[in-house]
Structure 1
Amino acid sequence: MLRVATPILLPSLGALLSDRAGVINIGLEGMMLGSAFTGVIVSAYSLQWLGPETGAALGPWLGLLAGVAVAVLMALLLGFFHLRLKADLILSGIALNILGSAATVAIMYELTGDRGNTSNLRSLVVPFIQLPSFINDIPIVGPFIYGVFNNQSVMTWVAFLSVGVVWYVLYRTPFGMHLRAAGENPAAAESVGIRVVRTRYMALVLSGVFAGLGGIHMSMGYLNLFQRDMTAGRGFIALAVPLLGGNHPIGTGLASLVFGFFDALAIRIGSLQIPSQVPQMIPYIATVMALVIYALQARQTLRVRALRAAEGENFNAPRWRAIQRLSVLHVFLAMIAVIGLIVSANLLAAPNAFGGPDSANPLAAGIGVISIILIAASAPFIARVERTASHALLSAAVSTLSLAVYLGLFLALFFEVGVALAIGAILGAAVWLVLGGRRLIQRDQRLAPATS
């Protein structure tokens, strides 16, 4: 799943940086295509330019640098049109995407005589990192860590380490403060000496770097060739991921894992005997769900503001932020349950692909019933955000049960079902407490003696 999430996470971090600076990088898709194609071509021809041995050693890194450079140039081109020539940002980004799609096919045909892929070129791949074998021998957690993190591309490690780097840059450096100021209030930023245009150019450059790394992973890590339009909309999905993650690096990383899970699910379902359109639409359903979550989150923010006005000086901002986070958690859990309904419908529609009606229909019924129960349990907390506070223990129970089911299904790949569900329940309770449940419980405990 990490391998599949990497080409979503990298451009998503780029989208986050450009969004926070006030310039939406619509051209991520084109930048990824340009980078993916350039990396393959440069790495393949480096074997001729430098010789077999030197080319094999340096070729992947030369391809990586060349691919990222192309993505950065495309980002600068977008900045030039929008920031210098004042062209519409959306139209400029769309033009860049069309350029990336068309130019890669045209140049590929000139170099290889093929409009589909570069399979007749001996392209190279970036290195994969092997973990020490003793990690697999660690009790309980060893097989899980080794199974998930072993034999991952360098790009995967770069992607997830970049989450922490981006967080530090955004919230712990002067540049990050300037970048956020340029996006939140450019006039005020200009008034205190921040060069907004230059800051936005730099944000676009960083966005291009991350998009370029994502493209390199697609053609030199995920695969070892370039295919026409191989990004398959990941650049557009990357625009929605920061919204789901609350425009925060850590949230963006977690949201990328969710989209990676849906991509992996699509690949797994695609191996079954069902119509190919069914697995292909799963990532895009997830994107729509992310936008729904964002809209509901915005609605909840307005509700909290109304409550702030009603409570006046008695308004407890930290407590309501915790309530809002927990309400978003319920939205997220309900959206995952919607995916369960889709899976249930697929089981009913194509039972022969899942072992026949005798095995598929009961499974579909079970998944459907559980999904409906989880949606119904989360619905009250989604409809009215304040119910999370008035029914804190019920919120905790619903969150713990839902996460126990979801995480248990994943952990069952590594542990026995009972152990997986128990670990899922513990992690679910921990997530609820960390997101704000602990604050609600502490407040209720303080109010109990006063009430009595």
Structure 2
Amino acid sequence: ILMALLLAFFHLRLKADLILSGIAINILGSAGTVAIMYELTGDRGNTSTLPSLVIPFIQLPEFINDIPVIGPFIFQILDNQSAMTWIAFISVFLVAFLLYRTPFGMHLRAAGENPEAAASVGIPVQRTRYIALMLSGLLAGLGGIHMSMGYLSLFQRDMTSGRGFIALATPLLGGNMPLGTAIASTVFGFFDTIAIRIGTLQIPSQLPQMIPFLATVMALVIYALQARQVQIIRAQRAAQGAGFNPTYWRVLQRLSVLHVVLGMIAVIGVIISISLFAAPKGFGGEATAFPLGRVIAVASVILIALNMPFITRVERIRQQTLFSGVASLVTLGVYLALFLSLFRPPLILAIGGGLVLAALVWVILGGLNLVRSAPMSAQPT
């Protein structure tokens, strides 16, 4: 919180650039923690010589493991997780409630999106921004507690390994919304897990280490594409005035985000295939790695190609609704079928279940309504 308050002072009071101030404070924090650690332990590397508290891990009740089909999977994923993990889950909904259901949240969003208009109606913009940065520092501090008392049981110099910079990309990819940011964080966590898993194989260590950062670059590119689509929708709203149909365009936005997520997952396949070609010895030799790499690469490229038209231009979803639906169903169906195959059902059952679940997701997001009706407000002008 103190570091966030210092950032707020530099940026809000002294009018320093936010990015440069953040980088400077990040360097200060890295050096300052080493200085404090050396004073306490005489060691500049870690605090292994000091006793450390550990965040408790929460055990799930056994009856969850007995739930048919999904019970064992949920139990395996969520059992014996740090209490801080559950706090992170809960904080998503708390932050969403704070932002969208409280007067302070309304003031906070107004102070960020249009400070001049907020100030004109009496909102204390400067104070609101100070509080926002302090709250962000609090949440970042909870992340640091998890790293040093949950993920590890000691403090180590630069233990985040660049994760903080990756975290900067998650709100962008998540549309600056709590739930979207949580989903984006899960995707990045998946990339990080892949890096750890691949790192156990006999391949160059640099390859798995770069995976999360490749994902970050990809996410920023996708965000730039999505930001352009938001500008298009705002232009449509301004042009159509009272005839603008916000519900219809929200469906388009949700389906556009779905295509983005599906494309991101397909990139995982490309990265895995590159790993197979670059270091076949770590995957059982060329006889095993090369054929598998070719299959994964071809499938991933096809899935990326199916979704890319709707990532680059969101209006194509309304112009080619059926094609968008087929691309979503096929891509998501493949992913869900692979997921269901982990439970070793018959292949036909896994494929059928994957397609059914994919169709359900598509309908929930509004795809069926998009097919049934194309309001005049959504037609090109």
User: What TM-score results when the alignment is normalised by the length of structure 1?
Assistant: 0.78
Count the aligned residue pairs.
375
Separation in structure 2 between the aligned mates of residue 115 and residue 100 of structure 1, nearest angstrom? 14
**From 102, 114, 120, the counterpart of 1:185:** 114
| Corresponding residue of 2:366 | 436
Bigger Cα displacement from structure 2, 386-395 vs 159-168: 386-395
| Corresponding residue of 1:34 | none
Separation in structure 2 between the aligned mates of residue 376 and residue 234 of structure 1, nearest angstrom? 30
1:326 shift after superposition: 1.5
Confirm whether residue 212 of structure 1 aligns to residue 158 of structure 2: no
Confirm whether residue 251 of structure 1 aligns to residue 174 of structure 2: no
SS in 1 for 2:365: helix
Cα deviation code 1:54-103 (max 9, x no counterpart) = xxxxxxxxxxxxxxxxxx11111111222223333222211210111111
CA contact (8 A) 2:64 2:75 kept: yes
Q: 1:163 to 1:387 in 2, by over 3 A?
A: same
**From 395, 406, 410, the counterpart of 2:324:** 395
1:305 shift after superposition: 4.5
Cα deviation code 1:270-298 (max 9, x no counterpart) = 10111111111111111111111111112
CA contact (8 A) 1:334 1:379 kept: yes
1:415 shift after superposition: 4.8
| Corresponding residue of 1:281 | 210
Separation in structure 2 between the aligned mates of residue 194 and residue 313 of structure 1, nearest angstrom? 28
| Corresponding residue of 1:14 | none
1:145 shift after superposition: 1.6
Separation in structure 2 between the aligned mates of residue 191 and residue 311 of structure 1, nearest angstrom? 28
| Corresponding residue of 1:119 | 48
CA contact (8 A) 1:143 1:414 kept: no
Cα deviation code 1:122-159 (max 9, x no counterpart) = 32211000011122112112101211111000000000
Q: How does 1:19-418 map to 2 (within 5 A)?
A: 72-305=1-234, 315-416=244-345, 418=347
Separation in structure 2 between the aligned mates of residue 410 and residue 108 of structure 1, nearest angstrom? 44
Cα deviation code 1:239-272 (max 9, x no counterpart) = 1101101111111111111001001000000101
1:204 shift after superposition: 1.0
Unaligned regions of 5+ residues in structure 1, if any?
Answer: 1-71, 448-452
SS in 2 for 1:140: coil
1:432 shift after superposition: 2.1
CA contact (8 A) 1:341 1:371 kept: yes
Unaligned regions of 5+ residues in structure 2, if any?
Answer: 377-381
Bigger Cα displacement from structure 2, 163-172 vs 427-436: 427-436
Bigger Cα displacement from structure 2, 422-431 vs 210-219: 422-431
Separation in structure 1 between the aligned mates of residue 231 and residue 119 of structure 2, nearest angstrom? 29
Cα deviation code 1:42-64 (max 9, x no counterpart) = xxxxxxxxxxxxxxxxxxxxxxx
CA contact (8 A) 1:167 1:250 kept: yes
CA contact (8 A) 1:347 1:354 kept: yes
Separation in structure 2 between the aligned mates of residue 218 and residue 421 of structure 1, nearest angstrom? 39
- Higher RCO (Cα < 8 Å, 6 or more apart): 1
User: What TM-score results when the alignment is normalised by the length of structure 2?
Assistant: 0.92
SS in 2 for 1:275: coil
1:315 shift after superposition: 4.5
CA contact (8 A) 2:148 2:154 kept: yes
Amino acid at match of 1:220: M
CA contact (8 A) 1:293 1:332 kept: no
Report sequence identity in percent: 69
Cα deviation code 1:181-232 (max 9, x no counterpart) = 1111112211222111111111111101100000011111111111110111
1:369 shift after superposition: 0.9
SS in 2 for 1:126: coil
1:307 shift after superposition: 5.1
1:399 shift after superposition: 0.9
Cα deviation code 1:154-189 (max 9, x no counterpart) = 000000111111110100000100100111111221
CA contact (8 A) 2:225 2:312 kept: no
